[in-house]
Structure 1
Amino acid sequence: MGKVQRHQGANQADRWRKRAGRRRLSRRLPRPLLGLLLLGVGTLAAAVTQFAIHSTAGQQITSGLQTTIGLQSTIANWTEPLPGPMQGRASVIDGDTVEIAGQRIRFNGIDAPESRQYCDDAKGFEYPCGRRAAQALDEFLAASRPLHCSFVDRDRYGRLVGNCERADGRSVQRWLVGQGLALDWPRYSSGAFATEQGTAKAARRGVWQGRFDQPWDWRAANADKVEKVSQPSSGLSVLGNPGCNIKGNVSVNSGDHIYHLPGQEHYDETVITASKGERWFCSEDEARAAGWRKARR
């Protein structure tokens, strides 16, 4: 091989080596930068992922706690064990509900006209059949105390649902239906008081003397007139307002308007009769504003 050819070959080999070196250099130099870039992207992605996980988990935990608290509250309200039989002096709330020692009791299987409900009498004139039923029940219970009740359930308002008898053993539900002051409620009674209702209807007693709306139908059509149901023993009404457990009584002797607080001497024996102008209050301020004064003991 000649000198010129050897020189050209050497030059070509040098050019190949330089090109190879540049290619290797181009492959080497970006790696640290690429690594740093990938590390940064990876760190950022991990941070975003962790944030999303913790954020979602936090929301889930918060939501879960709220749900659990809500469920526990509901379960505590509606799965509370039923108490054993109870007896005591009953205060009349309306035609199918009484209170014994601060505990509301709804009579099982019957439905009386609502406190604000009116019916037509035999001559077609309206009369307050709801208040009339409550007044008659008050007088019936006063004739043989105490009242004995055994419980079968709680209603959607948390009230106890029970079968009740006077001290002489007479069934309160059968008497109310037999006098036409309440109706047999087949939805819950399975016709247990159908015989008494048939007798009252044939004799045109109570609501059967004229035209009337069945209490459950009247409530559906007059939701704005239905009084709020509260459970005084819990101190909190079903609708979330303070419990209306203060008794506003009108003295028979003096006509004074006196309110009694739970725990006072005559609280349990005080009977509230709406037809006499007596009522329940949710606070002492409300009672005083209405003209009632606090009982002395």
Structure 2
Amino acid sequence: MRRARNRRSKSPPLVFLVLLVLGLLLIGYIDQTLREIHAADGSVVLVRDGDSLAIDRAELRLYGIDAPELRQTCADAKDEPWRCGEAAKSALSQIVSRGGLRCSPRVRDRFGREVATCRVNGLDDVGAAMLRAGFAVVFGTAPDGDYQSAETAARVAKRGIWQGGFMPPAEWRHQHPRPDGGHD
């Protein structure tokens, strides 16, 4: 007696693969839509890193602070590496997601970005909030003494990058230039 051949392929049917891909695309779209942040005027805000934003494609840097670069790592209290650059981006995203982002441009930097002080609902200064959270250091001439005291409070409390060792972001950029010559 002849045994019937199993005509089932060992690979999943094409319909299943198509449905899987469509499902993953839908999940990505929903996730992006839910995470979309808007400025007070309704403009879409993208958080680039811990001190840079794009508002409707206009690049903006927060005045008076310097946050770890996106690819930068720091050391925690046990001297273990952690992704402080990604954590700084996440902290800025959480602050900006409070809503009502309003920025006041002050100058342009050498990359053509507006350098601005920004506020959100419940916070008068996003830069000072990043310093207090320990995800930035004072950069250049800060707007007032509040910036230095916010950095000092984070350092004393060992918040964010102050929990262990870190390389100042400007020094890290100098030692890790981007291959494309761009800026972080």
TM-score, normalisation: structure 2: 0.72
TM-superposed CA distance for 1:90, in Å, is 2.0
**Structure 1 counterpart of 2:109, from 150, 155, 159:** 155
Aligned ranges 1:164-175 → 2 under 5 Å: 164-175=118-129
Letter of the structure 1 residue corresponding to residue 154 of structure 2: A
Aligned ranges 1:234-253 → 2 under 5 Å: none
| Cα distance between partner residues in 2 of 1:188 and 1:204 | 23
TM-superposed CA distance for 1:218, in Å, is 0.8
Give 2:58's aligned residue.
Answer: 103
- 2:148 is equivalent to residue 194 of structure 1: yes
Percent identity reads 33
| Cα distance between partner residues in 2 of 1:227 and 1:167 | 36
Q: Which runs of 4+ in 1 moved over 6 A?
A: none
Give 2:18's aligned residue.
Answer: none
Query: For 1:111-141, what per-residue CA distance to the aligned partner results, in whole angstroms no more than 9, with x for missing partners?
Result: 0000111000011100110011001211221
**8 A Cα contact 1:109 1:184, kept in partner:** yes
Give 1:219's aligned residue.
Answer: 173
TM-superposed CA distance for 1:191, in Å, is 6.0
Give 1:180's aligned residue.
Answer: 134
Give the match's secondary structure for 1:131: helix
Aligned length: 143
Which sits farther off after the overlay, 162-171 or 204-213? 162-171
Give 2:85's aligned residue.
Answer: 130
Letter of the structure 2 residue corresponding to residue 141 of structure 1: V
| Cα distance between partner residues in 2 of 1:224 and 1:141 | 27
| Cα distance between partner residues in 2 of 1:199 and 1:225 | 36
Query: For 1:208-263, what per-residue CA distance to the aligned partner results, in whole angstroms no more than 9, with x for missing partners?
Result: 00000000111111114688249xxxxxxxxxxxxxxxxxxxxxxxxxxxxxxxxx
| Cα distance between partner residues in 2 of 1:227 and 1:127 | 25
**8 A Cα contact 1:89 1:146, kept in partner:** no
**8 A Cα contact 1:116 1:226, kept in partner:** no
| Cα distance between partner residues in 2 of 1:120 and 1:225 | 25
Larger RCO of the pair (alpha carbons < 8 Å, separation 6+): 2
TM-superposed CA distance for 1:170, in Å, is 3.1
| Cα distance between partner residues in 1 of 2:92 and 2:123 | 15
Give the match's secondary structure for 1:188: coil
Give 1:4's aligned residue.
Answer: none
TM-score, normalisation: structure 1: 0.45
Structure 2 unmatched runs, 5+? 1-39
Query: For 1:86-112, what per-residue CA distance to the aligned partner results, in whole angstroms no more than 9, with x for missing partners?
Result: 854421000000111111110001000
Q: RMSD value over aligned CA atoms?
A: 2.1
| Cα distance between partner residues in 2 of 1:107 and 1:93 | 11
**8 A Cα contact 1:89 1:145, kept in partner:** no
Query: Is the helix fraction higher in 1 or 2?
Result: 1
| Cα distance between partner residues in 2 of 1:190 and 1:107 | 11
The alpha-carbon distance between structure 1 residues 163 and 190, as it changes in their structure 2 partners (threshold 3 A), is closer
| Cα distance between partner residues in 2 of 1:226 and 1:180 | 29
